[in-house]
Structure 1
Amino acid sequence: MFVILGVSISLFMLPTMQSTAAPLQVVTFEQAPAEYEEQGVIKGIAVDIVKEVFARMHQPILLNLYPFANSINRIKKRKVDAIFAVTKKPERELFLNYTSEVLLDQTATLYVRKNSQIKFDGDFRKLSDYTFGVVNKATYGYKFDNAVTTGIISKIEGVSAYRLNVLKLVKNRLDIIVGPRLGILYEIKKLGQQEAVKELSPSIESVPTYIAFSKTRVMPDIIEQFDLILKEIKKDGTYEKIIQSYIK
């Protein structure tokens, strides 16, 4: 998580007509490629999905990007209307109403060099001889973390960013890298290494994230409408097109 200054943009979703709805105040946090700031512009996969849904709702928003703890604190104190992309936790459901539809799955996945003979069937014991690249202090779900804790996986090298692990992998300094699927694919694309790295299947674990709305500031009909249109853009191909634009 990066500590950065708040950046805001006002999104008035109808270019040809003025919406009469008051803008919703929405917050997110740095987590590329889902949400990030670049040259003063808030962008990312989740950002584009959220903007598309609100555009189809004819609902303007004021979007701000803050550090994660700051974003959570703002919606908890009823200063803003919505936050994304967050996991469901019982303590958060005291002040948040989540959508039913998943906004974005965060999937922990393994990657190897394209010419590697390494295979994965879900059993980490078969990978115990290999060296793994991770990001320091990151977690990748119970299965992987448990394999590390119990010593099944013991050859681990940590770095500060996934980009560094992709570079180490293609230079034969690691056997396997582990990380969030979209984040790794995003870095592979930025480095131009699409033909040098491949994804192993199955994935380790998938954690769904959502947009969630303030229980005291947002009416249920807004949440229901967001759910319906999110399903719609998944069906009509817009959702997948947005994802692919960041990783292909």
Structure 2
Amino acid sequence: MQLVTLDYPPYIEHREDQLRGVAVELVETIFAELEQPITIEVMPWARALNSIEYGRADAIFTVFKNPTRERFADYSQQVLFTQNISLVARADAEIHSDDFITSDVSMLAICVVNQVSYGVRFDKLLMDESFRQVFKRNGAEECAHLVRAGRADLWVNNDFGARSIMVTEHLEKVLKVLSPPIEATSSYIAFSKRRQQQKLRDQFDQVLRQMKQDGRYEALIDNYFESLRQQPASNKKG
């Protein structure tokens, strides 16, 4: 069974041909319990979504839910993770996030990853062409450097991932994550309708639900982030 995803630290991290991340560990654990062999391929997000839509892959994670995607993907009922979506600006910028969604954003240039959803309210701003300029890139690191260079005012990302990239790209003193987050959004695993994996989706949900009830879900997440904290600084990837 083939799964597709994107490089999305700390949920999915692809470095030097090594694949890890808290979402990778969770998905691998569930499919191992189901005795279902899997392969995971990291690719640009637009191509990953296309692979699900046209049945070239079985499932995709971690993916936000929206009506367009629900036409070609069968979503799990159980949430994989609730992700805080945050804005990242230059450290010297005077931009605030507390009323961002309802503010006039027409003077701002932002950077997003191509075809990534950032939640219903922010996606509507994109759809309504509310911003002065929108840079669409294949990787979040590119967005970070556009903000560093002053070409974009803001970069949008999940909170954990933004902080991880700022560390690995040595941008902690140049950029800042604005608080509070603009949205908390649920992310899922979703299965290609063309591959007709509804039974497997239901089995995945059953195991994930049981993991949340018996404490294994929280323990897996806690153990993953504890392992990152214990790594020598020179070996940390984010």
TM interval, short-chain normalised: 0.5 to 0.7
Residue 110 of structure 1 and its aligned partner are, at CA, apart by 0.8
More helix as a share of residues = 2
Q: Report how many aligned residue pairs link the two structures.
A: 215
Q: Which residue of 2 aligns with 1:188?
A: 166
* Per-residue deviation, residues 209-238 of structure 1 (Å, max 9, x unmatched): 22356224x3855532232225524433x3
Task: Say whether the 8 Å CA contact 1:182–1:247 is kept in structure 2.
Answer: no
Which residue in the other structure is 2:37 paired with? 61
Q: Say which of 88, 94, 97 aligns to 1:111.
A: 88
Q: 1:195 and 1:247, CA in 2 relative to 1: closer, same or farther beyond 3 A? A: farther
Q: Is the 8 A contact 1:85 1:210 kept in 2?
A: yes
For the residues of structure 2 that align with 1:153 and 1:205, how far apart are their CA atoms? 18
1:223 aligns to what?
Answer: 205
Structure 2: state its 5+ residue gaps. Answer: 192-196, 229-235
CA distance, structure 2, for counterparts of residue 28 and residue 98 of structure 1: 15
Distance in 2 between residues matched to 1:28 and 1:247, nearest whole Å: 21
Q: Which deviations, in whole Å up to 9, do the C-alpha atoms of 1:109-151 show, x marking residues without a partner?
A: 2112334443222245656485333137555444335446667
Q: CA deviation digits over 1:23-58, x for unaligned, max 9? A: xx3512234334465444443332122224456x48
Tell me, which stretches of 5 or more residues in structure 1 are unaligned? Answer: 1-24
Which structure is larger by alpha-carbon Rg, 1 or 2? 1
Matched, 1:235 2:214: no
Match of 1:70 among 51, 58, 67: 51
Cross-structure match for 1:85: 62
Alpha-carbon distance in structure 2 between the residues aligned to 1:219 and 1:147 = 32
Instruction: Give TM-score scaled by structure 1 length.
Output: 0.63
RMSD: 4.0
Larger mean CA deviation between 128-137 and 189-198 belongs to 128-137
**Matched residue SS, 1:61:** coil
- The CA distance in 2 between the partners of 1:46 and 1:164, in whole Å, is 22
**Is the contact made by 1:99 and 1:211 (CA closer than 8 Å) also made in structure 2?**
no
The residue number in structure 2 matching 1:16 is none
